Amino acid sequence: MTTSFSIARLVHLNFLLICSYHRGQRDDVLRTGGQLTLAAPGLDLVASALEPPLLGSLEPTTSIGGAEVIEGRSSIEEGLVPVLDHVALNNQFVDLQAVFNKKFAKACGVLNRILESYVSNKGSDTDLVVMGWLKWRRPREESETASRYYKEALDFLGVRMTRWVMMVTLDVFDSMIDSFHFVYVVGERQMEKAINRQRILLQHLRPPSSFSPQTSESSPLAPLICLAANNASGDDIVIVAAYRTPICKAKRGGFKDTLPDDLLASVLKALIEKTSINPAEVGDIVVGTVLAPGSLRAIECRMAAYYAGFPDSVPIRTVNRQCSSGLQAVADVAAFIKAGYYDIGIGAGLESMTVDNMGQIEMVNPKVEIFAKARDCLLPMGVTSENVAERYGVTREEQDQAAVISHQRAAAARASGKFKDEIIPVFTKIVDPASGEAKPVTVSEDDGVRPNTNMRDLAKLKPAFKKNGSTTAGNASQVSDGAGAVLLMKRSLAMRKGLPILGVFRSFAAVGVEPGVMGIGPALAIPAAVKSAGLELKDIDLFEINEAFASQYVYCCKKLGLDTNKVNVNGGAMALGHPLGATGARCVATLLHEMKRRGKDSRFGVISMCIGSGMGAAAVLERGD
């Protein structure tokens, strides 16, 4: 069965394509783009699939030239394999000198070679049709409607365009010509990206077959459909920026006299300044926070948004999933963007353990005496750490050794300047407790790291939660103050705005475990998140596992068989600190900046933490472009 259709039918779908011209610093820079044409019985789909470059200066009155497509027709065999039937070029229509500074002839040669390659492969396993046109017969009054169709086409596959290009499309071309055809000129990298994007589309369009990955035999962590392994898609939820404050010791560190809303405002403001986004475009800000009363902290967060420069129109809310609150905030924003509720969102985390104390529940329901698991939800976290150590045989020596490594790695990272990429210095004040004098300071480093931590000194510490126990102040996370924030949007929007892509949010999972051993949560949450991303544990290059307690951290690494050289490579909460609501956002910043430094050697990373009352959470991130 073959379905054929002409250019006229394609134009009827109202998807426009424009040719962008690039006048760069280097003489050999000239790339425009392309358009994908997919077809199937009962389905016509036309969408831009190649990424145009950033534009140079081109006056609207410049004579525009291009290669004219005399005739184009695309046929498709059953099985969704497009082939190019015929393209004829009229190069007499091209004004080489005026538009492309003597280099368009070279680009046309590249174009011809590309087209000849596809024509010669007609009927074979060719999986890309490159066709371009602008068939503009609409009156100027309909430009707004056409603009909307055009934007939808670009959004579909995440094509990067500029406002200037849209102006040329609607104003210049509309006034100059009635009908104009052209073909994009593309480089090898752009062609490869287009092919990969089309494969992703075809995977969704292809009807179910008798063999499906879901029915194949595989290990428990084998991928169902490896979404994360596919190349870039415009629908990807990406992280374009992730920053944090320094993490400081509660009540005696650099933020002991800093209010929580000032901490949050610092990272929110940094996102605006470093990305130059319009704050009014943000659809929502979600802040993970734990200790403060909900209504009070929500008001403080709203105040912080105003300090940072957000207008009235941008809403903000808080979320509390205990120690994973910051990660939950990021996951919530990713889900809302994916669902189409808004285009840009911020997931953040905040905790001042100086201001807000971990108090006891004043009124306890007597039913907890009947429901043992409910009663265990009230256990102090340190007691659950002892439970993990006893049940799973984690020794004091193993815990202390993990603490030493955490401090050593954090100290090395701090000394080498690694954290400077993710830390936003905070201008604040320190009050002298003796004189009451407030001195202005800029806090720019984590102050809980102890470079000289060693096994001998840790062995001298007494158990903190249980007589003859193994959990001490030295092998548990520090009580800390801090904040973090992560800016998310769809890849298509990030590309149009010209924003760098730091990472891709691939999956999230939260699981429940016994409250009495809540620390084992990551051992269950990590496999769930990895499987959801269509990956296996062996695919993960780096892990950020929150070190709430050394006992649970050591257990989770052993249970999952992780190479500890891939886990918390820049130290963890035992050295840096654990500001409860902020830790998830902090981990996102730390992981993605480390993956960026490592480049191709690090593609996938996992963030995970245990959660008080018996849960675990994890997320899979992919390194950005």
Q: At which residue do the structure tokens 């269509």 appear?
A: 534
The Cα 280–Cα 276 span in angstroms is: 12
The predicted-structure confidence for 77-128, as pLDDT tens digits, reads as follows 222 222 222 222 233 333 323 333 333 334 334 434 444 443 454 433 322 2
What pLDDT was estimated at residue 193? 55
How many CA atoms are closer than 13 Å to the CA of 613, on its beta-carbon side? 8
Residue 62 tokens read as 């410049």
Which of 22, 181, 407, 578 is an active site residue? 578
- 226 is a catalytic site residue: no
The Cα 319–Cα 434 span in angstroms is: 38
Q: At which residue do the structure tokens 């009155």 appear?
A: 61
Helix (H) or strand (E) holding 407: helix 396-416
The Cα 347–Cα 585 span in angstroms is: 7
CA distances, 279 to each of 229, 241, 263, 304, 315 (Å):
33, 14, 18, 13, 11
The predicted-structure confidence for 226-262, as pLDDT tens digits, reads as follows 444 445 677 899 999 999 999 999 999 999 999 999 9
- 108 is a catalytic site residue: no
What pLDDT was estimated at residue 113? 46
- pTM of structure: 0.67
The predicted-structure confidence for 383-404, as pLDDT tens digits, reads as follows 999 999 999 999 999 999 999 9
For β-strands 284-288 and 344-352, DSSP reports them as parallel
Nearest CA to 184 out of 225, 233, 132 is that of: 132
**Average pLDDT rounded to a whole number, residues 319-336:** 98
What pLDDT was estimated at residue 507? 97
The Cα 308–Cα 502 span in angstroms is: 22
Q: At which residue do the structure tokens 């609409």 appear?
A: 138
What angle do helix axes 260-275 and 294-308 make, rounded to 10 degrees?
Answer: 40
Q: Are 99 and 84 in contact (CB under 8 A)?
A: no
What pLDDT was estimated at residue 196? 57
The Cα 504–Cα 233 span in angstroms is: 10
Report domain extents, the chain: 2-207, 237-358+371-623
Q: Are 316 and 265 in contact (CB under 8 A)?
A: no
Please determine, for residue 406, whether its predicted confidence score (pLDDT) is greater than 70: yes
- 610 is a catalytic site residue: yes
Backbone dihedral region of 577: left (phi > 0), alpha (psi from -120 to 50 degrees) or beta? Answer: left
The hierarchical CATH code for the domain 237-358+371-623 is: 3.40.47.10
Which of 19, 323, 556, 587 is an active site residue? 323
The predicted-structure confidence for 494-552, as pLDDT tens digits, reads as follows 998 999 999 999 999 999 999 999 999 999 999 999 999 999 999 999 999 999 999 99
